[in-house]
Amino acid sequence: MSDGVRVFLSDSESVFRRLARRTFLTCVRGLVQAVVAVAGIPLFFVSVLTVISLSAGIGVVLAPKSLLAVRRLASQQRRWAQEWSGVTIVTPYRPRPVELTNGLIGRLQRCKWLLTDPATWRDLLWALANGPAGVVLGLLPVFMVFCGVWTLAVDGGALLYGPWSNAVPDFGPQVFFLSLLPLGVIMGPRLLKAHAQAASSLLAPTREEMAAQVGRLTESRSQAVDASAAELRRIERDLHDGAQARLVCLGLNIGFAEQVVRDDPELALSLLAEARASSGQALSELRALVRGIHPPVLAERGLDGAVRALALSLPLPVDLHIDLAGRASAPVESAVYFAVAEALANVVKHSGANRAWVQLEYGHGRLVAIVGDNGTGGAALRAGGGLRGVEQRLAAFDGVIAVTSPDGGPTLVTMELPCELSLART
Amino acid sequence: MRVVLGEDLTLLRDGLIRLLTAYDMEVVAATGNGPDLLRALVTQRPDVAVVDVRLPPGFTDEGLRAAIEARAQVPGLPVLVLSQHVEQLYAKELLSAGTGGLGYLLKDRVSDVRRFIEAVRTVASGGTAMDPEVVSQLLARHARDEPLGRLTPREREVLALMAEGRTNAGIATRLVVTEKAVSKHINNIFTKLNLYPAEDDNRRVLAVLTYLNA
């Protein structure tokens, strides 16, 4: 056998294997879709009942639970559409309100958040419509492949030798069922994709929701731009009045000393001493400025090390629980660092606490930072306050902040933002 | 005295070489990046190393890491670390990594030539030179704690100067008191902090720093 033939044979073998694998996967996925479609129907009716029971009061507890279950199912469908068929369905939900408690007010807020979101209703509609659609589109490829394979297994031999044997029975049905196999192999993934696209028509955000999202983004972007412009102005002013002025003074003193060094060495010496003091002050001002822009230890050690260094520099003990497997991008690290720094500065200035703790964790694509203390509480997101600034800064990264701080304490500041971690740079 | 220098800014490196040479030290190697520095420290085994924290190739803390690694490979290697900013975190790491002379100073301090040279010599002879800024941060952090809160203002002053690495004589000159008074203060400090008094100046300083950094 020549090499070419061998290559061709092994190639065709691998093509066959790939096809078989793909078809098998398609059948499994189709079955899963069908099961999910069936499960969606009772979920739909239960949800409708719990929403109706809102008028009886008990729905306040039940409705969010069932609606969130529908939401989880819909979210799973979005993930499958992406992973199995490459159909991207953007998540349309409104952001969860911060500070949801388990009290009555929290439950009412949760109901309002879910019931006023149009995506909730379209999810419900999807759960109903997906019943028949999912069963048909999911089972069709399974049915076609199964018929083909079954016919091949039972009547395969007869079909192969049939034309040459004397008895000529009617092969019509067998030929039809057999032809379903290639059809199932070819059409299976397309049917799954059609199902995903059909789901997309109800599960994707509508045009109005997209517009609202764009509005939110525009707002947070302009806040971020404003904040960075104000920051640049502050840096310019600090440089202009601080280090720059000192360097001018330095040059002046050295130049003067140069002039008088022969005639009046004493004066030259005192001018040089003054120049040295001036350079020292310029450096310490630059150091403070640099810390405010991007703390050097953050550049050197990342968020983990920088928060550790920050904790060491505070006048009260800070317990650290840091669990980050890698490094976030520099802008994210900087935003989170300054958010934690602001929260800790509040602890020192206002809380009267004698103990604080910081927790930094990453999971499910989100970086979570929690700063707590055992102080007297009463912290809030006040207009013009430091935490409001943190909120704006985090908003630029789609991040959120929540403050729980009852009178008498303790205070808990939770910050969360979506990001990716890269492997630790060393 | 043989010195290995790790500094990437050419201007500052040349300036330091000139300065150290003028004070009868021999710069046997001057490198501008972390890996070269570590190699030079391990092969040359200098009397003292003067090292910048931030070095190429990563421009993070390569210098610091090289210094810590070198002290692990060459026990007792005296290292003076320079930086544009001081971090207690780094001071802590340096103190807990190995024995021998140790210094950690802001780069600004090189402008006070006499004190800088003094610091290099102190470190080379196995002593300690901590930047006043590190020391004041450490003291501020523990100001409210017991038993540091029991120290008198004068004893705090003495403790701060001691942590910077000054000798009894140096402290006496600075505070314009007799050496005898200084050693009395120091004994009081050690009693109040429950630390064992040590004859050796440096062991004493290290005890204080380790105590503050705990």
3-state secondary structure of A103: coil
Closest CA to A401 of A350, A342, A324, A349: A342
Q: Tell me the C-alpha distance between B158 and B177, whole Å.
A: 11
The answer to whether residue A291 neighbours chain B at the CB level (below 8 Å) is yes
Asked whether the predicted pLDDT for residue B203 surpasses 70, the reply is: no
Based on the number of CB atoms within 10 Å of its own CB, is A5 exposed (0-12), middle (13-18) or buried (19 or more)? exposed
Residue B105 tokens, joined: 């100073």
For the B2-129 domain, the top CATH level (class) is: alpha beta
Average pLDDT in chain B: 87
B90 to chain A: which residues are within 8 Å by CB?
A: 309
Instruction: Work out the average pLDDT over B47-69.
Output: 92
Contact check, Cβ <8 Å, A300/B144: no
Instruction: Work out the average pLDDT over A386-411.
Output: 87
Instruction: Work out the average pLDDT over A389-399.
Output: 86
Asked whether the predicted pLDDT for residue A120 surpasses 50, the reply is: yes
Nearest by CB to residue A309, choosing from B87, B107, B108, is B87
Asked whether the predicted pLDDT for residue B166 surpasses 60, the reply is: yes
**B180: closest CA of chain A, how far (Å):** 33
Instruction: Work out the average pLDDT over B195-200.
Output: 68
Asked whether the predicted pLDDT for residue A166 surpasses 70, the reply is: no
Question: What does the pLDDT read at residue B117?
Answer: 93
Closest CA to A303 of A424, A160, A151: A424
Nearest by CB to residue B137, choosing from A287, A296, A313, is A313
Instruction: Assign B62 a pLDDT band (cuts: 50, 70, 90).
Output: very high
Average pLDDT in chain A: 84
**A355: closest CA of chain B, how far (Å):** 12
pLDDT tens digits for A99-114? 566 677 778 888 888 8
- A405 DSSP 8-state letter: -
Nearest by CB to residue B84, choosing from A296, A315, A425, is A296
Asked whether the predicted pLDDT for residue A239 surpasses 90, the reply is: no
Q: Name which of A102-106, A125-129, A418-422 the model is least confident about.
A: A102-106
Contact check, Cβ <8 Å, A300/B141: no
Contact check, Cβ <8 Å, A312/B92: yes
Question: What does the pLDDT read at residue A361?
Answer: 93
**A333: closest CA of chain B, how far (Å):** 15
Instruction: Assign A401 a pLDDT band (cuts: 50, 70, 90).
Output: very high
Contact check, Cβ <8 Å, B61/A301: yes
Between these two residues, B121 and A165, which has the higher pLDDT value?
Answer: B121
Q: Tell me the C-alpha distance between B47 and A333, whole Å.
A: 40
Question: What does the pLDDT read at residue A164?
Answer: 57
A314 to chain B: which residues are within 8 Å by CB?
A: 141
Q: Name which of A2-6, A277-281, A405-409 the model is least confident about.
A: A2-6
**Nearest residue in B to A307, CA atom:** B89
Closest CA to A34 of A186, A157, A138, A152: A138
Contact assessment for residue A401 and residue A418, using Cβ atoms and an 8 Å cutoff: no
3-state secondary structure of A418: strand
Question: What does the pLDDT read at residue A8?
Answer: 58
pLDDT tens digits for A248-289? 888 888 888 888 899 999 999 999 998 888 888 888 889 888
Contact check, Cβ <8 Å, B60/A299: yes
Please give the share of chain A, as a percent, with pLDDT higher than 70.
92
Residue A12 tokens, joined: 């065709």
The pTM assigned to this predicted structure is 0.64
Nearest by CB to residue A297, choosing from B58, B89, B143, is B89
**Contact residues for A97 (Cβ-Cβ < 8 A; gap 6+):** A109, A113
Which stretches of A221-365 are assigned E, i.e. beta strand?
Answer: 318-323, 326-327, 356-363
Q: Name which of A55-59, A326-330, B42-46 the model is least confident about.
A: A55-59
**A314: closest CA of chain B, how far (Å):** 6
Question: What does the pLDDT read at residue A1?
Answer: 47
pLDDT tens digits for A194-223? 888 888 888 888 888 788 878 888 888 888
A269 to chain B: which residues are within 8 Å by CB?
A: none
Place of tokens 């290559």: A7
**A345: closest CA of chain B, how far (Å):** 14
Contact check, Cβ <8 Å, A297/B54: no
Nearest by CB to residue A300, choosing from B61, B108, B140, is B61
**B201: closest CA of chain A, how far (Å):** 26
Q: Which of residues 303-322 of A touch B (CB under 8 A)?
A: 305, 308-309, 312-315
What is the residue extent of each domain of chain B?
2-129, 134-213
Instruction: Assign A7 a pLDDT band (cuts: 50, 70, 90).
Output: low
Q: Tell me the C-alpha distance between A30 and A141, whole Å.
A: 7
The answer to whether residue B141 neighbours chain A at the CB level (below 8 Å) is yes
**Contact residues for A37 (Cβ-Cβ < 8 A; gap 6+):** A130, A131, A132, A133, A134, A135, A138
Contact check, Cβ <8 Å, A279/B111: yes
Question: What does the pLDDT read at residue B163?
Answer: 82
**Nearest residue in B to A302, CA atom:** B60
What is the residue extent of each domain of chain A?
3-203, 207-293, 298-423
pLDDT tens digits for B105-142? 998 888 888 889 999 999 999 888 899 888 888 887 77
The answer to whether residue A296 neighbours chain B at the CB level (below 8 Å) is yes
Contact check, Cβ <8 Å, B53/A300: yes
- For the packed helices A3-52 and A172-203, what is the interaxial angle rounded to 10 degrees? 50
Contact assessment for residue A59 and residue A50, using Cβ atoms and an 8 Å cutoff: yes
Contact check, Cβ <8 Å, A297/B87: yes
Instruction: Assign A425 a pLDDT band (cuts: 50, 70, 90).
Output: very low
Instruction: Work out the average pLDDT over A335-359.
Output: 92
CATH topology of domain B134-213: Arc Repressor Mutant, subunit A (1.10.10)
A275 to chain B: which residues are within 8 Å by CB?
A: none
Interface test with A, best of B64, B85, B93, B95 (most A CBs within 10 A): B85
Question: What does the pLDDT read at residue A426?
Answer: 44
**Nearest residue in A to B111, CA atom:** A276
The answer to whether residue B99 neighbours chain A at the CB level (below 8 Å) is no
Q: Which of residues 258-277 of A touch B (CB under 8 A)?
A: 276
Judge if ipTM > 0.85.
no
Q: Name which of A222-236, B73-87, B188-202 the model is least confident about.
A: B188-202
First-residue to last-residue Cα distance in chain B: 34
A284 to chain B: which residues are within 8 Å by CB?
A: 108
B108 to chain A: which residues are within 8 Å by CB?
A: 279-280, 283-284
Question: What does the pLDDT read at residue B39?
Answer: 95
Provide CATH code, domain A298-423.
3.30.565.10
Which stretches of A324-396 are assigned E, i.e. beta strand?
Answer: 326-327, 356-363, 366-373
Interface test with A, best of B87, B116, B135, B137 (most A CBs within 10 A): B87
